[in-house]
Structure 1
């Protein structure tokens, strides 16, 4: 197993006047990673390390107080900073850290190479893979089993079954009749 930097959370808005911050979690074990006394490195590195002095959960949202962050201004100055730890590669069958997915070859079921995974983004609905297609186009691919049925980290690849038009290479081949300049739907219905 290899070790890499894992983002535990991203610091969000200041909460209250005494330096508490809201967190955007990136871990499924926040009670361990954000325990009182936990010392977390930061990205950018010059903003930390930071020590958790208090934590709480309210309406499913995590809030922490960090050592040396005593007011709202200091808390706001940390907005966007990532809290990171060293972590081993995931040993779960259907779970991967972003660093494990980076630089995997993306191919279709027939073996056609369509690009390289450049990262993972966390969106509200679900995570998306950032794919750099072979022509350089940047495409966001929903990281769901229906579209990414195979993740083969040891083999250095993922397999995609994208719906038509998801990849830029497919969008260029779509046969769509576009209206001529100045032409509208109302004129066509005439």
Structure 2
């Protein structure tokens, strides 16, 4: 299974380094020297990481064969894709890979059906489940412990305890994933923030605090 783990940003310096927008919570594992990554667009890769370092809080990578600023700049906005064993699980029991949660049923504590997860949006403040309701509308469910009370992978369902207005009354909470992504791009037009959005985001999520 392939997961997007990073997006290449602008060139840094003149020796082929690039800034990287990390899309994984395990950069040491996914983005270490020697890692061979597929790319999107596919013709750009595969790319092999030669060196990596942190500079001013941002990860810088150099790839084999990329030796100058022009070559590094040509990689800008390329997605880096890692091959991951579908059976692999995060070390933290409170974390889940996106693919584990996609298409799970979302229900209330009494079994009332809300919908199913069609996307996971990774925003700077929290992760959101984009849930498609039976009528085709969408609702955004914050992945925080006060709201998401149970995740049962065996039963393929998530139980939620939504606050008043989250599901039925607040139009502000009902939006498409494209709207959520657009808002993030407006806030970070260069696309260089540490948190990504939508399906090419961090490859796993962690339940947060409200």
TM-score bucket of the superposed structures, by smaller chain: 0.7 to 0.9
2:90 and 2:97 in contact (8 A); partners too: no
Q: CA deviation at 1:76?
A: 4.0
1:25-174 pair list within 5 angstroms: 25-88=22-85, 89-90=88-89, 92=91, 93-167=93-167, 169-171=168-170
Contact 2:148-2:159 at 8 Å conserved across structures: yes
Q: Secondary structure at the match of 1:165?
A: coil
The separation in 1 between residues aligned to 2:114 and 2:155, in whole angstroms, is 16
What is the alpha-carbon distance in structure 2 between the residues aligned to residue 77 and residue 165 of structure 1? 47
| Matched residues, number | 168
**Residue pair 2:104, 2:157 contacting (<8 A) in 1 also:** yes
The structure with the largest alpha-carbon Rg is: 1
What's the TM-score once normalised by structure 1's chain length?
A: 0.76
| 1:73 Cα deviation after fit | 4.6
Contact 1:149–1:159, Cα closer than 8 Å, also in 2: yes
Deviation of the 1:91 alpha carbon: 5.2
TM-score (structure 2 length as normaliser): 0.70
User: Where in structure 1 are there 5+ consecutive unaligned residues?
Assistant: 173-190
Which one scores higher on RCO, CA 8 angstroms, separation ≥ 6?
Answer: 2
Conserved in 1, the CA contact under 8 Å of 2:102 and 2:117?
yes
Deviations 1:112-153 (A, max 9, x none): 111110121211111111211222122222111111121111
CA RMSD after TM alignment: 2.2
* 31-40 or 101-110, which deviates more: 31-40
- Please list every run of at least 4 consecutive aligned residues from structure 1 whose deviation after the TM superposition is greater than 6 angstroms: none
Uncovered stretches (5+) of structure 2, i.e. residues with no partner: 172-210
Which position in structure 2 is the counterpart of 1:183? none
**Conserved 8 A contact 1:6-1:97:** no
